[in-house]
Structure 1
Amino acid sequence: MPKAMFVISGLGAGGAERVVSQIASHWQTHGVEVAIASFDRPEDAEFHHFDAEITRHRLGRSASGQISGKLSKFHNLIDLRRLLRKEAPDVVIPFLTKNNLITLLASRRTGIPVVCCERNNPEQQQKHPAWSALLSAAYGRARLIVCQTEAVKRCFPKEVSQRLRVIPNPVSAWPKRRRTTQANTIVAVGRLNEQKGFDVLIEAFAEIAAKAEGWRLLIYGDGPLRAALEAQIAGLGLAEQVKLMGTTDTPGAWVEGADLFVLSSRYEGFPNVLGEAMAAGLPVIATDCDFGPAEMIEHGRSGLLVPPGDAAALARAMEQCVETADLRKQLGNAAARAIRKFAPEWVMQQWDAVLAEALSSRAPAPEPAITKSEEPAQ
Structure 2
Amino acid sequence: MRTWARKGKSAAARVYRGYNRRRARKAPPPSTREIKILLLHANGMGGTIRTVFNLAGQLAERHDVEIVSILREDEEPFFPLDPRVRVRYLDDRLTPGSDPVRAMLSKLPSSLIPQDETAYHRFTLWTDLKLARFIRSVGTGVLMATRPGLNLAVAQLAQPSVITIGQEHVALKVKDQGLQELIKWRYRRLDALVTLTKADLSDYRAALPKPPKKLVRIPNAVPPMNGDLAKGDAKVAVAMGRMTKLKGFHRLIKAWEQVAAAHPDWTLRIFGAGPQEDNLREQIAEAGLEGKVELPGKTADIGAELEKASIHVMSSRHEGFSLTILEAMAKGVAIVSFNSPHGPKEMITDGVDGLLVKPRTEDNLAAAIMRVIEDEPLRRHLAAGGLETAKRYDIAAIGAQWEELMDDLLARRTRVRLPAPTAPPVRR
TM-score of the pair, normalised by structure 1: 0.88
The one-letter amino acid of 1:236's match is A
TM-superposed deviation, 1:249: 3.9
Alignment CA distance shift 1:57-1:226 (3 Å): same
Alignment CA distance shift 1:153-1:207 (3 Å): same
C-alpha distance in structure 1 between counterparts of 2:229 and 2:141, whole Å: 45
The one-letter amino acid of 1:45's match is E
Alignment CA distance shift 1:44-1:138 (3 Å): farther
C-alpha distance in structure 2 between counterparts of 1:68 and 1:155, whole Å: 37
What's the RMSD between the two structures over aligned residues? 2.3
Alignment CA distance shift 1:240-1:349 (3 Å): same
1:46 to 56, 70, 77: 77
Match in the other structure for 1:266: 317
TM-superposed deviation, 1:268: 1.2
Q: Deviation per CA, 1:264-323, whole angstroms, max 9, x where unpaired?
A: 111111001101100111111111103111211111121100011110110000111111
C-alpha distance in structure 2 between counterparts of 1:319 and 1:262, whole Å: 12
State the secondary structure of the residue aligned to 1:9.
strand
TM-superposed deviation, 1:58: 0.9
C-alpha distance in structure 2 between counterparts of 1:313 and 1:277, whole Å: 21
Contact 1:283 1:332 in 2 (8 A): yes
State the secondary structure of the residue aligned to 2:312.
strand
1:138-217 maps to which residues of 2 (within 5 A)? 138-156=186-204, 157-158=207-208, 159-160=210-211, 163-172=214-223, 174-177=225-228, 182-217=233-268
Contact 2:229 2:332 in 1 (8 A): no
C-alpha distance in structure 2 between counterparts of 1:346 and 1:178, whole Å: 21
TM-superposed deviation, 1:327: 1.7
- Could you list the runs of 5+ residues in structure 1 that have no partner in the other structure? 365-378
Alignment of 1:121 with 2:171, yes or no, is: yes
The one-letter amino acid of 1:41's match is R
C-alpha distance in structure 1 between counterparts of 2:370 and 2:263, whole Å: 7
C-alpha distance in structure 2 between counterparts of 1:234 and 1:146, whole Å: 43
C-alpha distance in structure 2 between counterparts of 1:324 and 1:312, whole Å: 18
TM-superposed deviation, 1:47: 2.4
Contact 2:145 2:167 in 1 (8 A): yes
The one-letter amino acid of 2:307's match is E
Q: Give 1 or 2 for the bigger CA radius of gyration.
A: 2
Match in the other structure for 1:21: 53
Alignment of 1:59 with 2:83, yes or no, is: no
Greater alpha carbon shift after TM alignment, 332-341 vs 276-285:
332-341
Match in the other structure for 1:70: 109
TM-superposed deviation, 1:43: 4.8
Aligned positions, number: 360
C-alpha distance in structure 1 between counterparts of 2:231 and 2:307, whole Å: 12
The one-letter amino acid of 2:191's match is R
C-alpha distance in structure 2 between counterparts of 1:310 and 1:339, whole Å: 27
State the secondary structure of the residue aligned to 2:91.
coil
State the secondary structure of the residue aligned to 1:70.
coil
Alignment CA distance shift 1:18-1:181 (3 Å): closer
The one-letter amino acid of 2:47's match is G
Alignment of 1:7 with 2:38, yes or no, is: yes
The one-letter amino acid of 2:69's match is S
Match in the other structure for 2:21: none
